Amino acid sequence: MCGIFGAVNANIDRDLADKCLDTLIHRGPDDRGIWQEEGISLGHRRLSILDLSEKGRQPMFYGNNRYVLVFNGEIYNFLEIRAELETLGYSFESDSDSEVILASYIEWGEECLKKFNGMWAFSIWDRTKKQLFLSRDRFGVKPLYYTRLKGRDKAYGFASEMKALFPLMEELKPNMDIVCDRERIVYYESTEECVIEGIFRFPPGSYGYIDKEGLRIKPFYNTLDNLMTDKVPSSYEGQVELFRELFLDACKLRMRADVTIGTALSGGLDSSATMCSMAYLSKNDRELRMSSDWQHAYVAAFPGTTMDESPYAKKVTDYLGIASSFVEIDPLKAIDRLDDMIYLFEDIYLTSPIPMMLLYGELKKDGTTVTIDGHGADELFGGYTFDFIHALDDARGRDERDMILTAYIDSFPKDNSNMALRDNTKGAVYRRYLKRKLKGFLKKKQMAYKEVRGKDHPSYKSFDSLNKILYASSHENILPTLLRNYDRYSMANSVEIRMPFLDHRIVSFAFSIGFRSKLHGGYSKSVIRDALAPFMPEDIAYRKTKIGFNTPIVEWMQGPLKEYFSDTVNNQDFSQCKLIDPPKVRGLVMKVINDKGASFADGEIAFSSLYPYLWEKNVLKR
């Protein structure tokens, strides 16, 4: 896991290359390397995880030094691919996955990408052809950006983060269509557009070539072309067994590391299932490259707030017989670092990065370099009430309708005074759902999925209503944004996150089963619960209420950070910011500060409205 940088069809001096590369030092504090020759510069910041020796250094050469690689990510099945390549006559000097990528590309060309189970953004320079090969993993877990270099024909710069490209650009201009549109913040991550004009996002599931003809990008993977429809059992019980097999193997592959690994544990289903699966594997299915040092659970604690889930997390670690490391999220300990956090995050989002940055920072201080976390399950298997309520569109008969409504109603905490359900009987919820549909209140959400890329694909057309929404959630709006955010939260602290739910086999499985399997028995994500309950505390496996890892922004704005927010919206720089409407934003912030009845939504709107100013100050003008 690292940071990469390059410039193609351009000769940039070494000092400029150093300046670009070292903006990524947080992604790779263990080593650095730059290689240059006519028309090409490649740079690498290394976070050592597999083969910690000098043999794992990059830029890495292979094939009589014809091919040069810089790589960010992990190929989890590199041992299996390496064994196949050895039968074809290839030899290896290192124990790294990086060298396997090089040999795979030499043997299979761009087809090698289909063999990889992992997350990646990498480039390979062919010194003979004077051609660069670029690729990004199937779902965009690892970031990759590029820009055209002005004044140089067909010249490009590329990097793991936008900030590494800033020194190559003549000026930095905000993309106002994104920066000033709060609603676009949640879905532009799946497009090529970025918050800086002139910087573009390399698309996931794609590869490209850069040579004297310029840049050509082609897709190599589409979930809709890779469903497991013919392999998934028709019975629910068979689907549970298959999911268990796939998930355990996905975790096993992701436990391959030469460093300490752990889990950011919330006490919810997804992270708990992940850690409990690791515990099962460590006792029952060990292999040589699986780290034995995995018993590290890090729990974000928000004492006295509605966001605190630490008691649930402790149930999991008590069940496994390992210690819990509770990280108390105290905003006063981080507010003087918020400017740096926003710079490292470099993008614009709805919420404060403080809790997540603090959690992964403490994890790194404790000596843990890799976490295996539960991201992706909600978007793939129906964890959000606002998504799975739409399964009602396809319900046949009262039993199926009751199954969906039970899952929906039980997901809300019973003691929440701000609960969305005024009358939580099934009949009342169903009537409100129909009424909202008839009045067009849901039209906006439905329209967001109407133009989904792939909507004309036969596989997409065959999906039920829930899977159509989940496909958009996982490929176009919620999950792509979440992947970007957690890449920044973790890598800002030199920590790698691995996500077994994002194994491409599990994604294919998820869209090969329908809503009846995802909401079976009146539980959200039921196939996950029933598959992994044997390894978990039962009350965690079947716990229905969901809080999620977020910022208790209202409590903070009214409490420990009241002075910070009040001072911010009343200073001169804020009043002159052109990216926001200062009087309006000031009013939103001060209303939350002074209104004891302010809701979480009020706090999120206030903070997200303020964020463009904080971004301008700490990214654009830094």
Say which range, 41-55, 70-84, 328-342, 427-441, has the weakest mean pLDDT: 427-441
Q: Is the pLDDT reported for residue 509 higher than 50?
A: yes
What integer pLDDT is reported at residue 465 of this predicted model? 94
Assign domain 226-328+368-549 to its CATH superfamily. Answer: HUPs (3.40.50.620)
Assign domain 2-221 to its CATH superfamily. Answer: Aminohydrolase, N-terminal nucleophile (Ntn) domain (3.60.20.10)
3-state secondary structure 261-319: EEEECCCCHHHHHHHHHHHHHHHHCCCCCECCCCCCEEEEECCCCCCCCHHHHHHHHHH
In tens, the pLDDT along 372-418 reads: 999 999 999 999 998 999 999 999 999 999 999 999 998 887 654 44
- In the block, residue with structure tokens 């043997």: 107
Q: Is the pLDDT reported for residue 525 higher than 60?
A: yes
| C-alpha span between 4 and 35 (Å, rounded) | 12
| C-alpha span between 168 and 182 (Å, rounded) | 29
> What is the per-residue burial (b if ≥16 Cβ within 10 Å, else e) of 484-520?
bbbbbbbbbbbbbbbbbbbbbbbbbbbbbbbbbbbbb
In tens, the pLDDT along 13-37 reads: 999 999 999 999 999 999 999 999 9
Question: How many beta carbons lie within 10 A of that of residue 342, not counting itself?
Answer: 23
What integer pLDDT is reported at residue 422 of this predicted model? 56
Q: How far is CA 162 from the centre of its chain?
A: 17
| C-alpha span between 200 and 169 (Å, rounded) | 13
Q: Which two tokens stand for residue 239?
A: 């689907």
What integer pLDDT is reported at residue 420 of this predicted model? 52
Q: Which two tokens stand for residue 319?
A: 């069940």
Q: How far is CA 428 from the centre of its chain?
A: 36
Q: How far is CA 282 from CA 180, 276, 287, 321, 497, in A?
A: 49, 10, 9, 13, 19
What integer pLDDT is reported at residue 545 of this predicted model? 83
Beta strand 67-75 with 118-126 is antiparallel
| C-alpha span between 93 and 604 (Å, rounded) | 51
Q: What is the mean pLDDT of residues 322-342?
A: 93
| C-alpha span between 289 and 274 (Å, rounded) | 19
What integer pLDDT is reported at residue 419 of this predicted model? 47
3-state secondary structure 368-423: CCEEECCCCHHHHHCCCHHHHHHHHHHCCHHHHHHHHHHHHHHCCCCCCCCCCCCC
pLDDT category at 429 given cuts 50, 70, 90 is confident
Q: What is the mean pLDDT of residues 288-304?
A: 89
Q: Is the pLDDT reported for residue 443 higher than 60?
A: no
Question: How many H helices and E strands in the chain?
Answer: 26, 17
pLDDT category at 504 given cuts 50, 70, 90 is very high
Q: Is the pLDDT reported for residue 159 higher than 90?
A: yes
| Relative orientation angle of helices 97-108 and 78-87, to the nearest 10 degrees | 50
Q: What is the mean pLDDT of residues 115-144?
A: 98
In tens, the pLDDT along 164-188 reads: 999 999 999 999 999 988 888 878 9
- Which among 508, 506, 504 is positioned nearest to 114, based on CA atoms? 504
- Tell me the residue length of the chain: 622
Say which range, 100-104, 412-416, 552-556, has the weakest mean pLDDT: 412-416
| C-alpha span between 112 and 90 (Å, rounded) | 15
- Which among 374, 386, 381 is positioned nearest to 508, based on CA atoms? 381
- In the block, residue with structure tokens 């039920």: 464
Q: How far is CA 160 from CA 47, 60, 188, in A?
A: 13, 17, 18
Q: How far is CA 256 from CA 50, 142, 366, in A?
A: 8, 18, 20
The SS3 call for residue 499 is: coil
| C-alpha span between 207 and 41 (Å, rounded) | 19
